[in-house]
């Protein structure tokens, strides 16, 4: 049994946390008072998405939904920097779109070969070697590593193809694809033989070729879930040209004009932009046509809309060569395959304002201390002191530690930390 075709997946990814800086002092024989030599923490691993042309579905993401990169290790003594966390590489088929799960905004379109960093690893914390000053020669604190980023995203596969085949089921789309390319889709004389998209490369002449996509047939009422619905129309969203295949044989007692308009109505309901694409109409199964009047009526209707109609018989290889040549001519004048621009806008993190923060001033020193250190227990700090600094409007202790103070900490060193001290340092 063939593996199911999976073209959407919802996953949670998280980059690695940065390692903590370490508090350490140089210890050497005959050196009475070695200075601080605590090393920095390593960077957390990134979550990287890359294109794999050997993949055709998102099947790998069907059962595993959570992915986490490695954390950076803590720094060491003797100015030793911690090891960086290994990057986590996620491989996806070409044409996969990464969306934010909450807003459905596009984060990135994986259509080229360039890898994309979906979540950046947290920076490593600074060791106490960075905080030595002429007046503070024995800093007994270090900076904790930054946490990694976490995202919930939706992977959506939109096949990269130049030409898309549309039409009712069993009108000969798969047969046409098999005739004009080397693709081998399943072909049978019953509806919904094709259950997932197929791609084929159509060779026209030396240096001229294009990719054609065959999707499961859509029927009237697909928007309401009839048949297979509109689930697979996303795979022709990028197509520059549509070939509308219509059965004009009358073998099933259907009216070609009604079928043509019904499919166009479904395309408009799914996407008006897709329905407005350049279209060529292929009247298929002309070799078994029972009533030529149906073809004449259909031709008059199509040409009245300003469209070009080709009489073909895919099974008998009649008219297919002319059809692909016309498609190649149209493609030469059309813009390239669409690449979706990112629409995602980074939002600031939600602030928990439920905690209480006490702010006290001692001379020119401001001491900021929350009543509950649980939300920031990972920082390793028991108190934060700011010196030579104007008062700051503080609404949440988490923002204080990870936002305002860390920003100040990076660019100025004119304040003190009272941090948890390791047993090694305490003994020293």
pLDDT in tens, 324-375: 999 999 999 988 888 888 888 887 766 555 666 666 665 555 555 655 544 4
Q: What are phi and psi of 176, to 5 degrees?
A: -60, -45
Tens digit of each residue's pLDDT (9 = 90 or more) over 294-321: 889 999 999 999 999 999 999 899 999 9
Across residues 404-417, what is the average pLDDT?
Answer: 39
Instruction: Answer with the residue of higher pLDDT: 90 or 270.
Output: 90
- Which region among 14-23, 64-73, 285-294, 395-404 has the lowest average model confidence (pLDDT)? 395-404
The whole-angstrom separation of Cα 186 and Cα 193 is: 7
**What six digits make up the tokens of 332?**
């030469």
Tens digit of each residue's pLDDT (9 = 90 or more) over 54-84: 888 898 898 899 999 999 999 998 899 999 9
Give the rounded percent of residues in the chain with a pLDDT score beyond 90: 40
**What six digits make up the tokens of 7?**
């073209």
Tens digit of each residue's pLDDT (9 = 90 or more) over 213-272: 888 878 776 656 655 567 778 888 889 999 999 999 877 778 899 989 988 998 888 888
Give the rounded percent of residues in the chain with a pLDDT score beyond 70: 76
The single residue listed with the structure tokens 């001379």 is 363
Across residues 89-104, what is the average pLDDT?
Answer: 93
The whole-angstrom separation of Cα 216 and Cα 198 is: 9
Domains and CATH numbers, the chain: 1-158 (2.70.210.12), 163-331 (3.40.50.300), 351-428 (no CATH)
Q: Three-state DSSP class for 14?
A: strand
* pLDDT at site 85: 95
Name the strand (E) or helix (H) holding 300: helix 292-304
The whole-angstrom separation of Cα 299 and Cα 307 is: 9
Largest CA distance in the chain: 108
pLDDT band at residue 412, thresholds of 50, 70 and 90? very low
**What six digits make up the tokens of 137?**
């020669």
Tell me if 212 sits within 8 A of 235, measured CB to CB: no
* pLDDT at site 217: 77
The residue count for the chain = 428
Tell me if 280 sits within 8 A of 243, measured CB to CB: yes
Is residue 399 predicted with pLDDT exceeding 60?
no
The single residue listed with the structure tokens 């909450």 is 102
What is the sign of the dihedral through the CA atoms of 225, 231, 232 and 238? positive
* pLDDT at site 388: 35
């Amino acid at each position: 049994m063939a593996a199911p075709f999976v073209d959407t997946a919802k996953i949670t990814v998280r980059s690695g946390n940065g390692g903590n800086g370490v508090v350490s002092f140089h210890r050497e024989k005959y050196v009475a008072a070695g200075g601080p030599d605590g090393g920095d923490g390593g960077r957390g691993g990134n979550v990287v998405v890359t294109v794999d042309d050997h993949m055709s579905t998102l099947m790998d993401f069907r059962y595993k939904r959570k992915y986490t990169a490695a954390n950076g290790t803590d720094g060491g003594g003797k100015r030793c920097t911690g090891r960086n966390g290994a990057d986590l590489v996620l491989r996806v088929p070409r044409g996969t779109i990464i969306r934010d799960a909450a807003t459905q905004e596009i984060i990135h379109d994986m259509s080229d070969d360039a890898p994309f960093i979906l979540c950046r690893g947290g920076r490593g914390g600074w060791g106490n070697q960075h905080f030595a000053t002429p007046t503070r020669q024995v800093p007994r604190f270090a900076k904790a590593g930054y946490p990694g980023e976490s995202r919930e995203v939706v992977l959506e596969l939109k096949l990269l193809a130049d030409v898309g085949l549309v039409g009712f089921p069993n009108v000969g789309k798969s047969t046409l694809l098999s005739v004009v390319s080397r693709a081998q889709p399943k072909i049978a004389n019953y509806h919904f033989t094709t259950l997932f998209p197929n791609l084929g490369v159509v060779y026209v002449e030396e240096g001229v070729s294009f990719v054609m996509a065959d999707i499961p047939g859509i029927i009237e009422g697909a928007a309401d879930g009839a048949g297979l619905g509109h689930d697979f129309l996303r795979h022709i969203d990028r197509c520059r040209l549509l070939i509308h295949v219509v059965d004009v044989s009358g073998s099933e007692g259907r009216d070609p004009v009604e079928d043509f308009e019904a499919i166009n109505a479904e395309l408009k309901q799914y996407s008006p932009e897709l329905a407005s694409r350049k279209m060529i109409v292929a009247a298929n199964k002309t070799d078994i046509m029972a009533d030529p009047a149906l073809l004449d009526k259909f031709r008059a209707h199509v040409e009245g809309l300003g469209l070009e109609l080709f009489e073909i018989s895919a099974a008998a290889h009649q008219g297919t060569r002319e059809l692909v040549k016309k498609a190649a001519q149209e493609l030469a004048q059309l813009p390239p395959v669409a690449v979706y621009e990112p629409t995602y806008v980074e939002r600031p993190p939600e602030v928990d304002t439920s905690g209480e923060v006490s702010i006290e001033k001692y001379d020119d020193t401001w001491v900021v201390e929350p009543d509950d250190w649980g939300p920031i227990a990972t920082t390793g700090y028991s108190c934060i002191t700011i010196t030579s600094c104007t008062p700051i409007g503080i609404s949440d202790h988490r923002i204080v530690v990870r936002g305002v103070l860390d920003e100040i900490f990076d660019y100025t060193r004119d304040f003190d930390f009272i941090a948890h001290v390791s047993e090694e340092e305490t003994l020293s």
